[in-house]
Structure 1
Amino acid sequence: MKIGIVSDTHRLVRNMDKAIPYLENCDLIIHAGDNYSDARYIYGETGVNVMAVVGNCDFEDAEDELLFDFGGKKFFVCHGHRYDVKYGTKFLQTKAEREGADIVVFGHTHETFSEVINGTLYINPGSLSLPRGGSKRGFAILEIDGDNIKVKEVEI
């Protein structure tokens, strides 16, 4: 099972277009906000189902958090701004533990992050458009094969 994870695309189509060849081979795509409308664009270009949340730069009336099962894992997806992720994952961890999440996907910082904390995998794919903190422009591919989980960062 392959899951493409993007965030903070900020309507820069040329950068999304560079990611499309990787994403069109995924079983699911997750967009962690900023800009929600970009999730519709990615779906239109790939035909792959996109689970998306709104972020602090979005004005659409859509979910700001998602909790769902996929590939035998429980996912919690949010943009992260409501959990102060620019200052760490403490508040996000509390929410993830309360929800029983196996995998947490978030954005907002524009910096890549992938770490297992107390048995839960936290992934921030960085930004396809405006990377910060030394991160490169890109996204992540998550591969799930039972209990074997791999996170691959992809630079564009």
Structure 2
Amino acid sequence: MGILILSDSHGLVGEVKEAVERHRAEAIFHCGDFCVDPGRDPFSRMLLVTGNCDSPSDVPTERQTAWKGLRILQTHGHLYGVKKSLLRLHYRAEETGANVVLFGHSHVPGCTVERNILFLNPGSLQLPRGYDLPTYVYLEQTEAKEEGVTVQVTYFDHRGNVAPRLGGTFFLRS
């Protein structure tokens, strides 16, 4: 079983609930701009971070989570200038010892490994950019060894179909 990752749903509830119900996940991460009451189902079951469009609340702007050999840094991205560059976010990942960074803000789906850190943006369920369909991600650990872990990143569109040309398999050193 893996983890589900969403971002930038901007008030959608039904579509988010459908995505959550579609997959068995050990944890559900939302990378901000959920724009609804964080106590509302299904958001109340998620690990949330606040985005630039979310109302002030007790939801943090950043979260660190350990999961199956991964050290995950989760943020929205607006405080790190992710629309211009991942450099500031990369520095923060190194400061925290993260080997996976989950972020949103740009609405552009993508994942890449830079200096042994997986940067993963699930895209947006509400306003996709850089891809023709709304997207979210399911991440699974497929192998664990002493020297690191292998993960499979699968993007899905809003209807639950695998999104072509996105995702992949990545090895991350421990």
Please report the TM-score for the alignment, with normalisation by the length of structure 2: 0.80
1:132 to 2:129 alignment: yes
Per the alignment, residue 152 of structure 1 pairs with 154
CA distance in 1, matches of 2:22, 2:150: 21
Structure 1 residue 35 displacement after superposition:
1.5
Q: Secondary structure at the match of 2:42?
A: helix
Q: Cα RMSD (Å) of the superposition?
A: 1.7
Structure 2: 5+ residue stretches without partners: 159-174
Distance 1:78 1:135, change over 3 A: farther
CA distance in 2, matches of 1:82, 1:32: 13
CA distance in 2, matches of 1:95, 1:41: 31
Segment of structure 1 superposing worse, 114-123 or 14-23: 14-23
Once the two structures are aligned, what percentage of the paired residues are identical? Answer: 35
Q: Which runs of 4+ in 1 moved over 6 A?
A: none
Structure 1 residue 22 displacement after superposition:
2.5
Structure 1 residue 50 displacement after superposition:
1.7
Distance 1:74 1:35, change over 3 A: same
Per the alignment, residue 12 of structure 2 pairs with 12
Q: Secondary structure at the match of 1:88?
A: coil
Per the alignment, residue 71 of structure 1 pairs with 68
Which one has more relative contact order, counting CA pairs under 8 Å at least 6 apart?
A: 1
In our comparison, the structure showing a higher alpha carbon Rg is 2
Per the alignment, residue 26 of structure 2 pairs with 27
Alignment of 1:46-85 (within 5 A): 49-59=45-55, 60-85=57-82
Structure number with higher helix proportion: 1
Structure 1: 5+ residue stretches without partners: none
- Kindly provide the amino acid, as one letter, of the partner of residue 151 in structure 2: I
CA deviation profile, 1:112-153 (whole Å, cap 9, x unmatched): 010011001110000011111235201000001321201000
Please report the TM-score for the alignment, with normalisation by the length of structure 1: 0.89
Per the alignment, residue 115 of structure 1 pairs with 112
